[in-house]
């Protein structure tokens, strides 16, 4: 099995599975759950948040692996700077997806302990990004990262998405090919 695939599996076992599945299950077993009436606003708000969270995080992981030629593992980061897909809208789509999933679980089963866990995860990710990941990205990608950081938010999505000026404009590649023929 190639190293990237091994790192992807290991990173999944070490990060999202414990954060989104194991710890919430431990909290549920210790504190229980309360399934709300379907009239509860949080119930209906939570239902689309879970697939949205999985979709955002899954798309981001796929881009890291295929286009970025790396993995979500801090010890095997992408070798290419990712600014497309969900990264055009938000700087941390994997973490955003996981926080959405946790918040949805907390709403869906009316769990204060999982809500507190969601806040802990959010604050921890924010600290990690500010003090570890962002300086590392700045060192690896320089001015491109500076421009990206100035145009795309850490947590709140930007609409419409940002297009990096160094990326080819759609249709430009076909025009270049046609000129070369």
CATH number for position 40: 1.20.120.1630
| Residues of the domain holding 128 | 3-157
Domain membership of residue 179 (yes or no) is no
Domains: count for the chain: 1
Confidence band of 106 (pLDDT split at 50, 70, 90): very high
Shortest CA distance to 15 belongs to which of 137, 108, 102? 102
Query: Is 35 within the bounds of a domain?
Result: yes
Residue 60 lies in a domain: yes
- 109 part of a folded domain: yes
Residue 176 lies in a domain: no
User: How does pLDDT run across 121-158, given as a tens digit for each residue?
Assistant: 999 999 999 999 999 999 999 999 999 999 999 999 99
User: Is residue 75 one of the residues assigned to a domain?
Assistant: yes
């Amino acid at each position: 099995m190639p190293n990237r695939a091994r790192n992807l599996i290991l990173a999944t076992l070490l990060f999202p599975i414990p954060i989104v599945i194991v710890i919430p299950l431990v909290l549920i077993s210790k504190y229980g759950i309360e399934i709300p009436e379907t009239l509860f606003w949080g119930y209906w708000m939570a239902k689309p948040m879970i697939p949205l969270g999985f979709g955002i995080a899954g798309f981001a992981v796929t881009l890291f692996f295929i286009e970025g030629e790396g993995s979500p593992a801090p010890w095997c980061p992408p070798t290419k700077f990712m600014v497309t897909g969900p990264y055009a809208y938000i700087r941390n789509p994997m973490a955003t997806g996981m926080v959405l999933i946790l918040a949805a679980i907390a709403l869906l089963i009316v769990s204060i302990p999982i809500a507190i866990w969601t806040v802990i995860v959010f604050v921890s990710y924010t600290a990690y990004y500010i003090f570890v990941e962002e300086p590392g990205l700045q060192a690896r990608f320089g001015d491109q990262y500076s421009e990206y950081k100035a145009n795309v938010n850490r947590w709140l999505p930007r609409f419409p998405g940002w297009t990096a000026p160094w990326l080819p404009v759609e249709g430009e590649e076909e025009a270049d090919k046609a000129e070369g023929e």
